[in-house]
A = this chain, B = another copy of it.
Amino acid sequence: MTIVSNKGVILKAIPKRTPKADEHFGLVHRTIDIKNLNLEKNELVLRNLYLSLDPYIRFTLKEPEPVQTDQTVPLKQSVPIGQVISGFGVSEVVKTNNLNYEVGDLVHAPVGWEEYSHIKSSIVPAITLIEKESLKEVPLNYYASLLKFGGLTSYASLIAIGKPKKGETIYISAAAGFTGQMVGQIAKIKGLKVVGSTGSDEKVDFLLNELKFDAAFNYKKNDLNTALSKYCPNGIDIYYDNVGGETLEVAIDHCNQFARIISCGMISQYNITNPKEKYGIKNLENIFIKSICMQGFLVIEYIGTEIEKDFEKEFFEWIKNGKIIYKENVHVGIENTAKGFVDLFNGNNIAYTLGALDYDMIKSVTINPHQIQFPYIAVIKHPPKI
């Protein structure tokens, strides 16, 4: 292994509305000479195995903004045109000049959408080692997001901002999305009444019959105000907002005194780039009339906190014991990564979306993929012939 293919997905054009795989993304054919690559102190070369295709990445596909000295949060940084898209993934260390990592180590890391990533020393602190021992209990791909930022996002925001109390009512929009599914299931475990909305009858059925939500409805077929009156007769104590816009406005009307709104995403507004076309929310007076707390968050806020420790203890057990159902779409091959990402915005996915860069390689490093006992359904897309 010396000079190998290192194809990458670049930003070809800034999407003004919903991104399209062919129009806004390009595949560049590059190579990397791993043997002769000179690594500075602490640097690594990673072979990327799984890429977590997350909606937040949409925000990095925009005109670069003037850098503000006080804003150093990496998730907000835009990707210049022609550059490889950034995200998080699971990777294998293939070359190291870092005493903390050996060749063959498996890590969760911020990487490019590319086959190999040359990790600069400034990025190394964001990398965490995946204990191989744990792979006897869960498959490797769970570390791309479920047991890392994806699961932590749902768990920490619900606990820290939502402050759920047994018997309260939570309403979750885009409830069949990955975060919605996790939040709903955690809320059920915590004793809440869980109500979710989603965009198809198939998904409603999934929420009700597989995830055991107390109520679920198709927002395309139901007036939201009527549905919330019906399914949340005691009002909403926690609104988990993945949607924003008019849904947020109606949910605010149904909020109880001291309600908490967890602002996780506003997918209804992401692809409207003209600020004047965005939906105007007219009932924010309720924030102070009802003493509502509406709060956004970054998952990195919770890294290293007590909440992360609780998450690692509780959530891992729930996953192992089958208390949480998790589905994923696996898009195999770097060529299919952009398509997997844009599929996030078409509303057809019921599962978490993962890019898997090489099916055979994944089989070889996923130590125990066939002895999984708990509910786990991978929907493999674009499978290579095997």
Contact = CB atoms under 8 A, between A and B. Distances in A.
B301 A296 contact: no
Interface stretch (A65-73, A139-147, A366-374): A65-73
A30 interface: no
- Copy tally for this chain in the complex stands at 2
Nearest to A281: B281
Interface in A224-283: 234-235, 244, 248, 256-257, 263-266, 269-270, 275-276, 278-283
Contacts of A297: 288, 291
A257 B295 contact: no
Nearest to A75: B289
Interface string A39-69: 0000000000000000000010000000011
B285 A284 contact: no
A293 interface: yes
A283 to B, nearest CB: 7
Nearest to A288: B296
Given A76-B289, A290-B296, A234 B70 contact: yes
A289 B280 contact: no
Interface in A69-108: 69-71, 73, 76
B256 A70 contact: yes
A70 B193 CA distance: 16
Contacts of A70: 234-235, 256-257
A292 interface: yes
A287 interface: yes
Given A295-B294, A296-B292, A285 B244 contact: yes
Contacts of A123: none
Contact of A266 (B265, B266, B275, B288): B288
Contacts of A257: 70-71, 73, 76
